Chain A
Amino acid sequence: MGSGERKYKTNDITVYWKPSTCIHAGACINGLPRVFNPRRRPWIKLEESVTARIIEVVDKCPVDALTWKWNDEEKNQIVGTEHPNHIKNRRISLLENDDIETSNSASIQTMNNGPLIVKGGFLLERENGSRSKFSGTVSLCRCGASKLKPFCDGSHRAIDFKA
């Protein structure tokens, strides 16, 4: 799976979140603001509503950023096109393998008043053109005060960086 992907489970269903294809149409956050709240972490809390409503709203996502399945495999078999965002109709490969632990593309996350956190593999190219490979998690300075540039050394706290 790509970076930042998540799955969320209730007893009945699993909802899959794929941030790389989100086009900010807002069907989720407007349809069920208590469940889908990007200002909160985790931003999806399925326990805030009921299965039928969650399915209804996930089915309204115009892309495959939000998809879902029943946890009962027999129920998945009888789902048809009435549920456009069931994984059978949008992301059929998830039916066979929905392991979200393997990630092979990078994400860059801005931390509140802090650095950029890069997760996944990337190449870092220095001012002199030399390139080095990185994987795992790396923090890059974005406050301008680090003595270990381009990496974060925690100086954003000393200068009270706001971002």
Chain B
Amino acid sequence: MKENKKAPVITIIESGPLKVSGSFTLLNENNYPIEAKSEVYLCRCGKSSNKPFCDGSHRNQ
């Protein structure tokens, strides 16, 4: 099978979330897909109320 997809880029935003863009699949701990756009911001401060996505809570730390 040939799938010529572009590798995703994971960008570390200073004092902020991870930005993920490109071709990727987001999965939960049961290997089941989480609906996501082709560009997402993932929480890495642990405070988001909308995990795994960022909700801006890092600013309140």
A104 proximity list for chain B (CB < 8 A): 3, 5
- Count: A-B pairs, CB below 8 Å: 132
Whether A163 pairs with B46 at a CB distance below 8 angstroms is yes
| Residues of B contacting A163 in the complex (Cβ-Cβ under 8 angstroms) | 46, 51-52
Central interface residue in B10, B13, B23, B47, by most chain A CB within 10 Å? B10
Q: Does A121 make an interface contact (CB < 8 A)?
A: yes
Q: Which listed residue (B10, B14, B58) contacts A124, Cβ 8 A?
A: B10
Q: Does A1 contact B (CB under 8 A)?
A: yes
Type the 1/0 row for B1-17, where 1 means its CB is closer than 8 Å to any CB of A: 10101011111111000
Q: Which residue of B lies closest to A2 (CB)?
A: B3
Query: Across the interface, do A150 and B7 meet the contact criterion of CB distance under 8 Å?
Result: no
A75 part of interface (Cβ distance < 8 Å): no
Chain A interface, DSSP helix/strand/loop, else mixed: loop
Indicate the size class of the contact surface on chain A: 35 or more
Interchain CA distance A121-B5 in the complex, whole Å = 11
A106 cross-chain contacts in B, Cβ below 8 A = 7-8, 23-25
**Residues of the B chain whose Cβ atoms lie less than 8 Å from the Cβ of A1:** 1, 3
Query: Distance in Å from the Cβ of B13 to the closest Cβ of chain A?
Result: 7
Can you report 27 A-B residue pairs in the complex whose CB atoms are below 8 A from each other?
A: A1-B1, A4-B27, A6-B31, A19-B33, A20-B33, A41-B30, A97-B1, A99-B1, A105-B5, A105-B8, A105-B23, A105-B24, A107-B27, A108-B27, A109-B31, A110-B26, A116-B52, A120-B7, A122-B24, A123-B8, A127-B12, A127-B14, A140-B18, A142-B51, A143-B46, A144-B46, A150-B18
